[in-house]
Amino acid sequence: MKPTSTSYPSASKGEFPEPPSKPNLSFGNELHASLKALVRAQPFLWHDNENPFHHLLEFEEMCSCLSISGMTQETLRWKLFPFSLTGKVKQWYIFAIESTNGDWDEIKDKFCLAF
């Protein structure tokens, strides 16, 4: 199923807004460019043969191997997930996070239902 709205908020310079309710208040940690590149290496492109469940499984497995001092796994996922998305899927994400209240399980459900 494709997103129905065509008016998405825009992100500038590859930066994405935090989820409305931050899962962790210690956001002073910047993500290293190599972490972003690692996630970007396996993007969800919204092709017919792509499975959103598989993408999430791989993404969460990769995140479970990472640790940043002072940052929870949920926060790490929120910060890295947009880098695993491209094009219209990334635009959908920016639009969808407004209604999740920082709930990782809710954004996962919405992602799987949308794609």
Identify the residue whose tokens are 């210690």.
26
β-bridge mates for residue 85, sequence order = 44
Count CA atoms closer than 13 A to 61's CA, side-chain side: 7
Most confident of 7-16, 26-35, 66-75, 81-90: 81-90
Whole-angstrom distance, CA of residue 51 vs CA of residue 42: 13
Confidence of residue 48 (pLDDT cuts 50, 70, 90): confident
Whole-angstrom distance, CA of residue 76 vs CA of residue 27: 10
Tell me if the pTM is above 0.85: no
- pLDDT, averaged across the chain: 80
Segments in 1-115 forming alpha helices (H): 33-40, 52-64, 73-80, 87-96, 104-114
Cβ atoms 50, 44 nearer than 8 A: yes
